[in-house]
Amino acid sequence: MIILFIPENTSNQLVNYSYSQPGIVEVVENGRLVTLAKGIVTVTATTVSGGKTATCLVTVEDAVIPVYKEEVFLDFESIVLDWASGYGAFSWNTDQQMITGNPSVDAVNTSSKVYKWTRDIAVNATWGGYAIGLPTKNTNGWERISFQVYASNPVTTIRVELFQTDVSQGNFTISNLTIPANTWETVKLNMIDAGMVNKTFDKVQMQIAGGSDVALMSSYSDNFKFEKGLAVSVPDLISNDAGIRIYPNPAKEQVNVECPNGLKQIEIFDITGKKISTRKFNGEPTFSFSKKINGAGLIIAKIIDTKENLYLRKLLFN
């Protein structure tokens, strides 16, 4: 792990990074660089305004990938929303908001208690939502915020805004989600995208299904977390390259697999080694991985073809 500083003699802290070879390193928040695979790469930092640049040649001898550490800052197992306890809640365009039992305890959310907001909108009032006040938290050093959502109708849009003493500190609208009805899903949001790097806040405002014309629906939220990546060394993945093609990698939304021998099974793991999913095939020659399987970051695919050849691959979604 190294720190790649911004170009000298510039007051602009916004920097874009580019790479001579993809998939070897990645610069994350605060200029921290993590390594993904062996190789040599030139990293170029360019200021958003002014166009000043700096370059750095990086040689990676041992693959290092980020394993995310998390800290829950808002769940509902012991919280009482009475303001006197330090926590409180209010909502709009609703007939109900409360802490209630988990409607579906599963592997994604094992909590017994969650927060419920019932959407009951009037004509043209499409942006109903809720806000939860909490003791002041500081995002210093954290890279992501994640939370879990469950709704009685499919959700494609969620708007999140964070406040400090009623002054907005940052907001972000997450569009093109594919959260199905009656299923717990985890949503992840980079601090930099929300404008929340190194800021304090004491209120989370949520608008689930914002802009939707669904008049009545119930939504549940839980387990709001900070996350940050730690550099952890892992062995290189050994793979049999016979006849398989995987592209693009890294990818923005989708990675395609072409397997001339036909696919038998694919298992997906996160970077901690936890299995995310298993899918069986009947000799199909192609398959596509979607970013929605685990959000941005690194996943590991274990691919078995019909001739029992094994392929282990790191797949990176930007």
Neighbours of 138 (CB within 10 A): 12
CA-nearest of 179, 143, 156, 150 to 297 is 143
Which of 176, 201, 226 finishes a domain?
226
Q: Are 55 and 78 part of one and the same domain?
A: no
Q: Does a structural domain hold residue 46?
A: yes
Q: Are 74 and 218 part of one and the same domain?
A: yes
Q: What is the DSSP letter of 307?
A: T
Which of 36, 61, 86 finishes a domain?
61
How far is Cα 2 from Cα 18, in angstroms, rounded to an integer? 16
- Identify the domain containing residue 106 by its residue range: 70-226
88-92 and 200-208 strand pairing:
unpaired
Q: Are 80 and 160 part of one and the same domain?
A: yes
Stated as kind and residue range, the H or E segment containing 260 is none
CA-nearest of 221, 108, 212 to 154 is 212
Q: Are 54 and 125 part of one and the same domain?
A: no
Stated as kind and residue range, the H or E segment containing 192 is helix 191-194
Q: Are 39 and 179 part of one and the same domain?
A: no
pLDDT in tens, 37-72: 677 888 888 877 666 788 888 877 665 555 567 889
pLDDT by residue, tens only, the chain of 318 residues: 444 444 555 444 567 778 887 767 777 655 667 666 677 888 888 877 666 788 888 877 665 555 567 889 999 988 889 898 899 999 887 767 789 999 999 888 889 999 998 877 665 566 678 999 999 999 988 888 999 999 988 888 899 999 999 999 998 888 878 889 999 999 988 888 888 888 999 999 998 876 566 667 889 999 999 988 654 444 434 444 556 888 887 788 888 888 888 998 888 877 666 677 888 899 999 998 887 777 777 788 888 888 877 777 777 787
Q: Does a structural domain hold residue 55?
A: yes
Phi-psi region of 93 (alpha: psi -120 to 50; beta: other; left: phi over 0): left
State the CATH number of the domain containing residue 311: 2.60.40.2470
Q: Does a structural domain hold residue 232?
A: no
Q: Are 142 and 178 part of one and the same domain?
A: yes
Stated as kind and residue range, the H or E segment containing 281 is none
When divided into structural domains, the chain yields a total of: 3
